[in-house]
Amino acid sequence: MRTIIFTTLLCVSSATALGAEQPVDSPQQQAAALADEFIGLLKPQLKQALAEAGPAHAIAVCADVAPGIADSLSVQSGWTVRRVSLKSRNASRAVPDSWERTVLLDFNQRQAAGENAADLHFGEVVNGQYRYMQAQAVEPVCLVCHGKGLADEVQNTLREYYPDDWATGYSLGEVRGAISLSGTL
């Protein structure tokens, strides 16, 4: 697990350094690029963990690696980067504030009205900070740990890592949560 975390942090450092060579003008472009970078770093590791050792290992990777990616991107970029959800898995990190909650509810309404959850994003200036959220849509790989009728092994591992987990029962294409970013203008 330490190797995965170290490799992730090394990748974040390299990716951020490479990204610094390409100027991005607007706060929305900066935030969107960071959200994409977060997803681009986490998703392959989750898929690899699933392929190599199954869902229990993927849950461990998500619990240990995802916060490290967010923290590293925050330190390196100067933005605050985090994941939030109306049905949080990790109550100490993923509970939305009132602004994030309002945006997540809007994302859910827009998705229910037919918009593709993967295309949902929103940004605005709030109290001198640029705030941005990009929805995380439920993909097939997500259903293993966030879907309905989870395997016993998955349920047991979720209880171990997330005793107050609410992040199950999702269907394909729903809004699972969002990457939330805030930065000073």
Give residue 131's identity as a one-letter amino acid code.
R
Report the distance separating Cα 170 and Cα 168, nearest Å. Answer: 6
The CA-CA-CA angle for residues 86, 90, 91, to 5°, reads: 70
Q: What is the pTM of this model?
A: 0.84
Of the pLDDT bands very low, low, confident and very high (cuts 50, 70, 90), residue 9 is very low
CB 96 within 8 A of CB 84: yes
Mean pLDDT of the chain: 88
Find, among 150, 37, 133, the residue nearest to 85 by Cα.
133
Question: Which residue in this structure is represented by tokens 């990716």?
Answer: 15
Kindly report, residue by residue over 71-121, the tens digit of the pLDDT: 999 999 999 999 999 999 988 888 999 999 999 999 999 999 999 999 999
Report the distance separating Cα 183 and Cα 35, nearest Å. Answer: 13
Helix (H) or strand (E) holding 74: helix 55-77
What pLDDT is recorded for position 21? 53
What pLDDT is recorded for position 23? 56
Q: What is the per-residue DSSP string for 61-120?
A: HHHHHHHHHHHHHHHHHSSEEEEE-SS-S-TTT----HHHHHHHHHHHHHHHTT--GGG-
